Structure 1
Amino acid sequence: MVVSPYSDTELAAEFERARALLLADKAREAAALFDRLVRLSPDGEVAPPSLFNSGLAHEALGDRALGAERYREVLRRFPDHAVARGARFRLARAAAALERWPELVEVARALLALEDLSVLEAVEARGALALGLVEQDLVDEAARHVALARDLIEAHRLGESGKPPLELAQVSFALGEVRRRRSEAITFVPVPANFGEALERRCQGLLDAQSAYTEAMRSLDAHWSAMAGYRIGRLYQQLHRDVMQVPPPRSADTPRKKQLFEGAMRLRYRVLLEKGQKMLAGTVGLGERTGEASSWVLRARDAQREIELALADEQAALAKLPFTEAELSAALDALKGEAPRKP
């Protein structure tokens, strides 16, 4: 038994003081005071809201993991308290940010089991469930929940004018993930019977995924924008990697023809690296402007360096070939079935 040296009235006054600190953006002082209140009165009236507000304060300090721990404690100890509902939504958001996909699925399913969800809450829960599923390679099930969320969005005309609600960003990002995974399932080794058609489907899938990620950016939230920007940059980088694995055709039966094929491919698909580099540079710049320092910005910075090295390698490889760029352009025309251009 914990015996508090304070009366209920004094504890309530301390809670209000902590709440005022939190509202005044003094998260560190507020977090310490809320945590102290939970220790002083672990089963008292101030304990559930103190735990919840402690989670908010720790998140404001950038410690999402500790914030998530507080929300879990609310749900474990006070599942029927009024703050439990908010704790469940905050835990879902923290799990998504921390990339704890199994937990995100579990929390999202619990949210969908609630009977009094508003439209935006239902959209958020469906988006969270879809994201947790797709990141665990359950693409078809994720696509189903994305579709249900989008049906709600369209039926209620959410986000049609101005900045869309933040809840829509997660749905758009999950849609981008579904489209990305389906697109990248189309590979080119062994070479498909109809390479041109397969490449067209892969590229269309890339553009569809990019469209969904771009829609997520409309929320103007730095975290979702960083996630989406990184994914778009990687889309182009991965397509370049896959397409450059295509072996020379049978008609390239001499060393010279093989070199010509290699050079034409490098020249043609270098633009994919350039597009990816541009998007990743924008994502890194976003992190610097907004202070967003999540793992997604760090990944974008690493991928940007990878692309810079890849572009340098491409340039060096082209320089070693015994052809001018004009000759390689003519070879490109031949690959596309067009009449070669004159140098």
Structure 2
Amino acid sequence: MSATWRKWVLVGVVGLVGCKTTGSAVREAPERPRQEVHFDPVSVTADLELSELNDEELFAGGTSAFAANDFARAARYFGRLVDFHPQSKHRNEALYNAGLSYERLEQWEEAYLRFSELADAEKGTGDALDAAFRMAETQYHLGRFTDAAKVLGTIAAREDLPVGKRLEAQVQQGVCELESGQPEKAEATLRKVTTTYEGLPDKDEVEDYFPGQAHFFIGEIYRLHYEEVKLDPEKGSDALANDLNYKAELLLSAQGNYLRAIRVGNGHWATAAGSQIGAMYENLYEHLVNSPAPKELDAEEAQIYREELRKKVRVLLTKSINIYERTLEAAERIGSQNAFVAKTRKSLEKMKALLLADTDGAPLPAEATEPAESEPHT
């Protein structure tokens, strides 16, 4: 609760005074010394500007401030209404809007406190249901992934909700499970989403954002597995070859799920998926060019190794450039502008410069021009 809304001053003074007794022989007990006990004052500064406003005025002021993107002021007005006008017909809406205001300010704990008072994941509808979603998001930003997944799992299990709402909750649940370090559980949750979506007779009843997000994050799970595989020449050529093949398989598995995200057709996740595919080829390229030849190779064998490696590197460069270019073309076609677009554009220029710096004029192997849409491993 904001420290500007109230002022409380607590000072405890306890007087301990000796009592008197009466009887045939009147005797006054000696007065005990007076004692005073002082407690430290606890204060929250009053918001004098708002103290004279009624709930209607506070709601109007908060609404106006929110519309003007003055979220700090909006939070003050809505918060004042919530705390000092508990019987107001605007209280629930003000509570939700106060949470939204803090969310815009990225004050996640304050947002959580407001949303949690209104949220009802088990039975809520309207603002109570929306507040449950938003509460889970604040928990996500606070790093409380397990708590967020539990709230979202409760919503996802509700048969009384439309399928779109359940899928939205389930996707976000999977993301939180992934963030909490449970990739297997996350993948199982996200695959339930994609299975449900593919089984819908009318996919238009579900917003394509969430199925696209589900496929994208399954791709992310395989990308994380891909990054865990380290290419170490010290292991020897056979072990290095096995690790490289396994790493390539994981790349293709990630690519397959990213491609499915693209096919769903949501602009945001399609752009993000294309960017990640290109980035994985770029990453593998960097691994290869920075990897020394296995020590067991003699000079002649090491030279052959480097020549073969250079061919594979040029393949990866070309594939990465093709994917980046097609991602940007798609982004321009649908008018998508997000962080992935900027990242893709920057990476494309880098890959072009690297390919240009390679002065080998030999033709590329056929695999360099294979279409990215070829069905990869899953």
- 1:172 is aligned, of 206, 215, 221, to 215
* Residue 308 of structure 2: aligned partner: 264
SS of equivalent to 2:106: helix
**Residues 113 and 289 from structure 1, CA distance in 2 versus in 1: closer, same or farther, beyond 3 angstroms?**
closer
The two structures, once aligned, show a CA RMSD in angstroms of: 4.3
Establish whether residue 73 from structure 1 lines up as the match of residue 117 from structure 2: no
Q: Does 1:231 align with 2:276?
A: yes
Summarize deviations over 1:168-202 as a string: whole Å, max 9, x none. Answer: 12211121112222344445433574776665554
5+ long unaligned stretches in structure 1:
319-323, 330-343
Q: Which amino acid aligns with 1:225?
A: A
Distance in 1, Cα, partners of 2:278 & 2:139: 24
Partner residue in 2 for 1:181: 224
Please tell me whether residue 5 in structure 1 is matched to residue 47 in structure 2: no
Residues 1:39 and 1:194: Cα distance change in structure 2 (over 3 Å): closer
Instruction: Work out the percentage of aligned pairs sharing the same amino acid.
Output: 21
Please tell me whether the aligned partners of residues 179 and 206 of structure 1 are also in contact (alpha carbons under 8 angstroms). yes
* 2:158 maps to which of 97, 113, 116: 116
CA distance in 2, matches of 1:259, 1:132: 47
One-letter identity of the residue aligned with 2:112: R
Partner of 1:208: 253
Give 1:276 deviation, angstroms.
1.8
Deviations 1:188-217 (A, max 9, x none): 433574776665554343233223223323
Q: Paired residue for 1:325?
A: 362
Contact 1:51 1:73 in 2 (8 A): no
Extract structure 1 runs of 4+ deviating beyond 6 A: 194-197
Alpha-carbon deviations, 1:71-101, whole Å to 9, x = none? 42322444458624212324556777xxx48
Q: Distance in 2 between matches of 1:73 and 1:8?
A: 21
- What does residue 147 of structure 2 align with? 106
Following the alignment from structure 1 to structure 2, what is the Cα–Cα distance between the partners of residues 237 and 58?
Answer: 39
Aligned residues: 304
- 2: CA distance, partners of 1:51 / 1:283: 41
> Quick check: 2:78–2:95 contact (8 Å CA) kept in 1?
yes
Please identify the structure whose Cα radius of gyration is greater. 2
Question: 5+ unaligned residues in a row in structure 2: which ranges?
Answer: 1-5, 7-46, 366-378
* TM-score where L is the length of structure 2: 0.62
Contact 2:236-2:296 within 8 A present in 1 as well: no
Report the alpha carbon displacement of residue 302 of structure 1 after superposing the two structures with TM.
4.6
- Which moved further from structure 2: 163-172 or 186-195? 186-195
Q: TM-score, normalised by structure 1?
A: 0.67
More helix by share: 1
